Structure 1
Amino acid sequence: MLDQPTSPSDVDDASGQPERISPRSVTLSLGMMLTALLLAVLVVLPVPYAISSPGPTRDVLGEHDGTPLIQISGAETFDSTGELRLTTVSGTGGPGFPSSVVGVLQGWLSPWAVVQPVELLYPPDRTQDEIDESNTAEMVSSQENATVAALTELGYEVPATLVVAGTVEETDAEGKVEEGDVIVALDGTAVPDYQSLIGLLGEVEAGDTVTLTVRRHGQSLDIPIVTTEKPDGGAQIGVFIDPAFDMPVDVTISIDDIGGPSAGTMFALGIIDKMTPEDEANGKDIAGTGTIDVTGEVGPIGGIRQKLAGATRDGATWFLAPAANCAEVVDHVPDGLQVVRVETLHEAREAVTAIGAGTTDDLPTCTG
């Protein structure tokens, strides 16, 4: 019987005995094992960097997990053929979600991700629960602001009880106006809603004295207040207001996995689209971002470049960007995406209508 052939690596050519493993081979093998182990550790080793990258988008006119994002009762609603996408930023580096070496390297190589020291985004003294709670509170406030702004844009009156939540330090209101006071008039003119108060203050010059009428413990008080200047140059009375709105229409916004205030503008546009018979978006896929206050002013947000990339990835061809973010948009628009600059909800509504109608030549951009 013939023996089975043996591989040369199994025997010594001269003696037929098994070949001894040299010390050099052992050293090389151990070195490779240690290198592999070190690389494996580096893959999962947390590093002190935060990574911001394009997050998911949601069509506010559609559903998520079988539930409509916007539900309206107390008014007639209409279907739409288009999409209005809120945009988000995904991030690592916060408490409980550390970034890895591999993630940082990928972020540095990506044109749409931002890598920065973790302390710039996440204060070391804040827990993840505190961050989540803050983001949730901002989202709830954003939804309320969006509802008020949308209903006001549609011509509804939205009464509000203007409850004072505190005063601004070193203003004339400090020590005069108290937390819990209810503002009922300014210079003798009733303010049944927040818009009325803002409108009256718009007629006042910073430094003027106004008479603020408040209800305190059931009594009416007239308080003279010397106004101060807001950052935009207008007049302010130096109080923080926590308005309690009496909504004429019941609007419910259902989104549990996204926090922060930056979806406000898109929520407001979604409410308007659902409550008007016109098909504003008319089959177009429009994304956007921006905070919104109850007066309909669109405010800046963070992560605009990541949101532009996320919108393009998910099929949007148009993007509504807050005017205050335009400097970050220039030269960073993905191919196939057109960006419209907006400052107010009314401008955003007109932009959506123009996009749906195909009459976009006169829409303002971030470059002109």
Structure 2
Amino acid sequence: MHAQPGTPSDPDASPAGGTDPFAAPTPTGADPAAAQAPGEPDEPREPAPPVTRRAALLSGGVLLTAVLLVVLLLMPVPYAVNSPGPTLDTLGEHDGQALITIDGAETYDSTGQLRLTTVSTTGGPGYPSSVLGVLQGWLSPSRRVLPVESVFPQDATQEQLDEQNEAQMVSSQENATVAALEELGYTVPVTLTVHDAVEGTGAVGVVEPGDVLLSYDGTALTSYGQLIDLLDQTDPGSTVTLGVQRDGAEVDLDVVTGEREEGGGSQLGVYIDPTFDPPVDVSIRIDQIGGSSAGTMFALGIIDKLTPEDEADGRVIAGTGTMDLNGAVGPIGGIRQKMAGSLRDGADWFLAPAGNCDEVVGHVPDGLTVVKVSTLHEAREAVEAIGAGEADDLPTCTAADAADAG
């Protein structure tokens, strides 16, 4: 029973209308008896239902499945995956240093870019492909998945592959330097030393390892390109006289030339180890990239630096292709990935070897224009035409070219 307001029910009652400052307020409409006194402990809660054996097994199964799925996605598989690699401007810097430096001649700046292109590949020794990587490769139009044995020698170690790629890069740089200087009219003195004769040719038993070539049918040899030109003008099966230096003496040797596999002109039938003495000192600094496919872009970069004309004139031109000592552009691998990497890095134009037209046709990314080149001279003219805004008539890969290349 509650006392009426203003009527004390006992001596300790509060005056009418007063408030006990130590009493807990009772919400309007609430049962005062239900209010919890200060300091009174919470009512005990209902305990959580026990985990059943079935629930525990289900949770453990989900966790195990997730772990197995991660392991499966990351486990190595016998495939190689080619992806677009980095591109580098041969007219710019690499790791804070000029990629190409030249001493012994005046050099000139350029406002354009000539970008070499690369392919990043997994699947080789030390860099296995995973299930996840292969799945991504199959789903991506800029990647390619191949059986690993079609890309890497199965008995090769990572160290052996690195040494091979480095040797190819050094040879590529030397070829590019010689081809570029000769394209500009320089004479590049060379010592043409015979490494060995090619089995099945007319040079076997006539030319010996260590012979130094001095003349060809009475014409003094002053460059490697000159020897190639002379062979171009010689019919297969002709007998030519080679002047060589052997053991300090000059000797004349009669050699029957052979037919080239690609046709046109003759082959001498010897492996030559040339040693060059270029009149201009060219140094190319590049790390973590190997192979021979950057030769064409190296050569174009050297030409650009040694000529006062601003050939590219602000354009971003990428490309690829091996470079022979006589200036021939050769086909390479991974051209689809290289085109994709070029577009990604801002290139509008791409120089492609004619021998790769079968992989170019139907696979050119939107926004990229491809120009077909067979020689360094053609590549140089293409760069000049692009820089001058006169590129409408430059050759590109056609279906007929693709059939020839294939």
TM-score category by the smaller chain?
over 0.9
**What is the CA distance between 1:23 and its match in structure 2?**
2.3
Distance, in Å, in 1 between the alignment partners of 2:163 and 2:43 is 72
Of residues 128, 142, 150, the one that matches 1:98 is 128
Q: Give 2:287's aligned amino acid.
A: D
Pair 1:32 & 2:71 matched: no
Partner of residue 163, structure 1: 193
> 5 Å matches for 1:69-108?
69-108=99-138
**TM superposition shift of 1:4:** 6.5
Q: TM-score, normalised by structure 1?
A: 0.95
1:109 aligned to 2:139?
Answer: yes
Please name the residue that 2:5 is paired with: none
Q: What SS is found at the alignment partner of 1:41?
A: helix
Alignment-derived partner of residue 314 in structure 1: 345
Amino acid at match of 1:3: D
Structure-2 separation of matches of 1:130 and 1:206: 38
Looking at structure 1, the residues matched to 130 and 360 of structure 2 have their Cα atoms a distance apart, in angstroms, of 28
2:41, 2:384 → 1: CA distance? 88
Q: CA RMSD in A?
A: 1.2
User: Which residue matches 2:247?
Assistant: 217
For structure 2, which runs of at least 5 residues remain unmatched after alignment?
1-39, 402-406
Match of 2:94 among 61, 64, 67: 64
Tell me what 2:51 maps to.
21
Q: 1:299 to 1:5 in 2, by over 3 A?
A: farther
Q: Partner of 1:115: helix, strand, or coil?
A: strand
2:358 matched to which residue of 1? 327
Q: Structure 1 residues 4 and 230 mapped into 2: Cα distance closer, same or farther (>3 Å)?
A: farther
Paired AA for residue 374 in structure 2: E
For residue 291 of structure 1, the aligned residue among 303, 318, 322 is: 322
Figure out how many residues of one structure are paired with residues of the other and give that number. 359
Greater relative CO (CA pairs within 8 A, separation 6+): 1
Query: What secondary structure is seen at the aligned counterpart in 1 of 2:213?
Result: strand
Alignment of 1:193-272 (within 5 A): 193-233=223-263, 234-272=265-303
Over 6 Å off, 4+ runs: none
Question: Counterpart of 2:118 in 1: which secondary structure?
Answer: strand
The residue number in structure 1 matching 2:72 is 42
Indicate the SS of the match to 2:86. Answer: strand
What are the within-5 Å matches in structure 2 for residues 152-191 of structure 1?
152-191=182-221
- Pairing partner for 1:3 from 39, 42, 53: 42
Task: Select the structure of larger CA radius of gyration.
Answer: 2
Q: Deviations over 1:144-178 (max 9, x none)?
A: 00000110011101110001111111111112211
Amino acid at match of 1:275: L
Question: 2:281 is aligned with what amino acid?
Answer: D
- Following TM superposition, by how much is the alpha carbon of 1:256 offset from its aligned partner in structure 2, in angstroms? 1.3
- Matches of 2:44 and 2:384, distance apart in 1: 81
Gaps of 5+ in 1: 7-15
Distance 1:323 1:349 in 2: 15
Which amino acid in the other structure matches residue 320 of structure 2?
T
TM-score for the superposition, normalised by structure 2? 0.87
